[in-house]
């Protein structure tokens, strides 16, 4: 059974930084997709960043490029999202997600929530100006 547990959400001032963590367990393969998504009230869930463990390849939403960085610590199966230069548009509930068996032949994980089967409970990030 795949399980994900996020942590690290908090309230910060604009310009500040946070690091989110997602502890993953239950993957039977070492090649799978991990991702960070976020959703704020009245908006659709947005793919923030993804990580393909098969090639250590990351993708980022245009809105976070240059400010956020996703990484995976393979020693403890924990996905991180380092968020810098936060602004009020980053306020949202952040979800960690994984697809243990992605389509064969991929080189990146597409940040489409429909392609991820397992989800964490979410962690709240609030940025005040």
The C-alpha atoms of residue 114 and residue 54 are separated, in whole angstroms, by 20
15 pLDDT higher than 90: yes
Q: Confidence band (pLDDT; 50, 70, 90) for 22?
A: very high
Q: Is 51 exposed, middle or buried (0-12, 13-18, 19+ CB in 10 A)?
A: buried
104 pLDDT higher than 90: no
Percent with pLDDT over 70 in the chain: 100
105 pLDDT higher than 90: no
pLDDT mean over 101-114: 92
The C-alpha atoms of residue 73 and residue 91 are separated, in whole angstroms, by 25
Output the average pLDDT for the chain: 96
Q: 41-88, pLDDT tens digit by residue?
A: 999 999 999 999 999 999 999 999 999 999 999 999 999 999 999 999
């Amino acid at each position: 059974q795949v399980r994900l547990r996020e942590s690290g959400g908090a309230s910060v001032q604009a310009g500040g930084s946070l690091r989110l963590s997602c502890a993953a367990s239950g993957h039977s393969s070492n090649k799978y997709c991990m991702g960070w998504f976020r959703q704020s009230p009245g908006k659709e869930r947005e793919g923030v960043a993804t990580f393909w463990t098969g090639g250590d390849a990351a993708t980022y939403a245009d809105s976070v490029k240059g400010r956020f960085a996703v990484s995976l610590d393979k020693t403890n199966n924990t996905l991180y999202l380092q968020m810098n230069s936060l602004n009020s548009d980053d306020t949202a509930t952040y979800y960690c997600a994984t697809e243990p068996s992605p389509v064969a032949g991929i080189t990146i994980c597409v940040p489409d929530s429909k392609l991820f089967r397992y989800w964490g409970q979410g962690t709240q990030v609030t940025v005040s100006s």
